[in-house]
Amino acid sequence: MNKLHWSVDYSYSSKLSRTKQIQENFQEEFKKILGDSLSSSPIDFNAKRKTHRYTLLPNFWSGFKSGEDTNLNIGQVSIERQRDESEIWRYKIEHENTSSGEALSLNFYCDSKPARPLVDSWQIFTKNSADGSYNSLSLTGKWNEQINGVRSVKMTTANGLVIVAGSIKHNETLTCNWAIFDILPLLRESISMDRLAILDDLEVLKKDCYIKPLEAWVFENGNEKYTFTGFCVFGKGLPPTYWWLTENGEVAVMSTMLTTYVLNGRSS
């Protein structure tokens, strides 16, 4: 069996994976999800509207699954975006983690420039499966006007509480981690990007972030072979994430420290 790339292969990360059978089950499930999605027609990169959907797989089974449950799926995310006539992209993110009972909805706008800088205000809605008044939270985020060449990034709750995420200089580019799905396809010629400011889930500011290339990965699934282009995104307070793009420029796999996102569907 052709092995997965080291950046996404968590077959050996738990007690469940100590047997060859479980290792193979892990890889088979990963390959089935990704293989089925890659067999469908790719989306035109220049499409004005597109949606990609990903299955969440836990990198470490302990705490996510019992010893009897070998089904890895712990949730899904939908990344929908649409470009208007002024070349502004509207993003709508729906993220659900069924193992933790958490759901996150994001709405924001980005310029069409390669670094996808945030424009206008953005909205965050998060909820969990707990009872009571703390099971949901709504936030509206925005940049403040420049003061001495510095902008502050703030979020406000429905009752007026202001939360300061941090500040950036006027020449720094601020983007969102979910816009990286569209930043990377534009980097295939310029290879890397330096000193980005990333607003993680539109809440936590990560500065001095970098995008650097990885080696190519040939993903084999049955008789099919796909050559992926790899990137690593990292920075101050931002653990490395690994991204793998198809030849058409779509993100097939993205792996964070705790979760791997595997493409399971797409539409335009």
At 147 the pLDDT is 79
Tell me how far apart the alpha carbons of residues 176 and 164 are, in angstroms, rounded to a whole number.
16
With bands split at pLDDT 50, 70 and 90, how would you rate the model's confidence at 17? very low
User: Residue 240 — pLDDT band, cuts 50, 70, 90?
Assistant: very high
Dump pLDDT digits (tens) for 37-57: 999 999 998 899 999 999 998
List pLDDT tens digits, range 89-105. 999 999 999 888 899 99
CA neighbor of 263 nearest in space, from 246, 241, 239, 247: 246
If phi over 0 gives left and psi between -120 and 50 gives alpha, with beta otherwise, what is residue 132? left
Section 153-178 average pLDDT: 92
Mean pLDDT, all residues of the chain: 87
Q: What single-letter amino acid sits at 58?
A: P
Higher per-residue confidence, 69 vs 165: 165
**Percent of the chain clearing pLDDT 90 (strictly above):** 63
Structure tokens of 186? 């534009």
> Does residue 189 surpass a pLDDT of 60?
no
The Cα–Cα gap between 216 and 84 comes to 34
Q: pTM of the entire structure?
A: 0.90
Least confident of 9-13, 98-102, 157-161, 224-228: 9-13
Predicted confidence (pLDDT) at residue 71 exceeds the cutoff of 80: no
Residues 113-164 have pLDDT tens digits of 999 999 989 999 999 887 766 788 999 999 877 778 898 999 999 889 999 9
> Tell me, what's the pLDDT at 86?
93
Q: Give pLDDT, residue 134.
A: 74
Closest CA to 31 of 10, 4, 7: 4
pLDDT at 229: 93
Lowest mean pLDDT among 15-24, 240-249, 255-264: 15-24
Q: List the one residue out of 266, 249, 241 whose CA is nearest residue 7.
A: 241
Average pLDDT over residues 220-231: 91
Percentage of residues in the chain having pLDDT higher than 70: 88
pLDDT of residue 29: 84
Q: Tell how many helices (H) and how many strands (E) occur in the chain.
A: 2, 16
**pLDDT band (50, 70, 90) for residue 21:** very low
DSSP string for residues in 79-96: EEEEE-TTSEEEEEEEEE
Q: Rounded mean pLDDT of 233-262?
A: 94
